[in-house]
């Protein structure tokens, strides 16, 4: 009597995917806008990581917010699903690895993930947050490759 039929469950899955796409899309758009307004913390974090020279960091940080905003809009609009979800998964995988690397090497600076609007220090909290974003990105990516 209380069992759900298969079409109802599938419908709920589709709705849950859309909710995750919207949440991740909003996060990406917000992050991109805040980095455009104030990229200084993101530049500092990239310098602190020491993985790239300054002459590559500046163009990367200038271009990166545009990519975040574009991906956010594509996720919300449900366009280019495989491309947008794959790029989002790639992005959040990178964020997760950077947060793990930064934590393991003892960095304690603001990552600049949300410009200067929200302070976000490298550490276990960031790993958990980026892990949740990564799981969400996996969820929508898996759905996109099944279509």
Q: pTM score, two decimals? A: 0.85
pLDDT, tens digit, 9 for 90 and up, residues 124-135: 999 999 999 999
Give the pLDDT band (50/70/90) at residue 119. confident
Are 60 and 98 contacting, i.e. CB atoms less than 8 angstroms apart? no
The tokens of 21 are what? 């796409």
pLDDT, tens digit, 9 for 90 and up, residues 57-114: 999 999 999 999 999 999 999 888 899 999 999 999 999 999 999 999 998 888 888 8
The CA distance from 1 to 82, in Å, is: 38
pLDDT of residue 49: 86
Q: Is it the case that residue 8 has pLDDT exceeding 70?
A: no
């Amino acid at each position: 009597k209380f069992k759900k039929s298969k079409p109802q469950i599938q419908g709920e899955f589709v709705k849950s995917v859309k909710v995750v796409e919207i949440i991740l899309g909003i996060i990406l758009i917000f992050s991109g806008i805040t980095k455009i307004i104030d990229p200084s913390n993101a530049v500092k974090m990239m310098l602190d990581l020491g993985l790239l020279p300054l002459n590559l960091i500046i163009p990367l940080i200038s271009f990166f917010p545009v990519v975040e905003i574009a991906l956010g809009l594509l996720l919300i609009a449900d366009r280019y699903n495989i491309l947008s979800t794959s790029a989002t998964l790639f992005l959040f995988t990178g964020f997760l690895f950077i947060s793990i690397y930064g934590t393991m090497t003892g960095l304690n600076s603001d990552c600049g993930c949300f410009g200067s609007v929200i302070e976000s220090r490298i550490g276990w909290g960031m790993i958990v947050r980026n892990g949740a974003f990564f799981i969400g990105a996996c969820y929508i990516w898996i759905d996109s490759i099944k279509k």
